[in-house]
Amino acid sequence: MPEEVLFESESRRSREEIASYLRTVADSLDAGNAITLTRGEQSVTMEPPVRPTFEVKAEREGPADGPGELSVEFELEWDEDAGDGGSDGSDLEIE
């Protein structure tokens, strides 16, 4: 299935700024509200269902014998028509 990017933003931010963005998303999820992403003239609003699929991924890219790039990715995913994501029953912990 082809991917269509609806919104994208990448910039260096302080840890505090990133925490604030994530806190805003968490507050919206807690309240059952839509999430609106805006940068300049570009904007998209999405309404996650009650139980979207939540993916957490830690990656290292680069050569096996040298320094690379590390990343942590958090992703919410759901079908546009189905709404409610499934659950695999395992417990995620983030410290």
Reported as a single tens digit per residue, the pLDDT across 38-50 is 999 999 999 999 9
Given a contact cutoff of 8 angstroms between Cβ atoms, the answer to whether 94 and 56 are in contact is yes
The answer, as to whether pTM is greater than 0.85, is no
Residue 86 — very low, low, confident or very high, per pLDDT cuts 50/70/90?
A: low
Residue 56: CB atoms within 10 A of its CB come to 10
Lowest average pLDDT, out of 18-22, 23-27, 43-47, 88-92, goes to 88-92
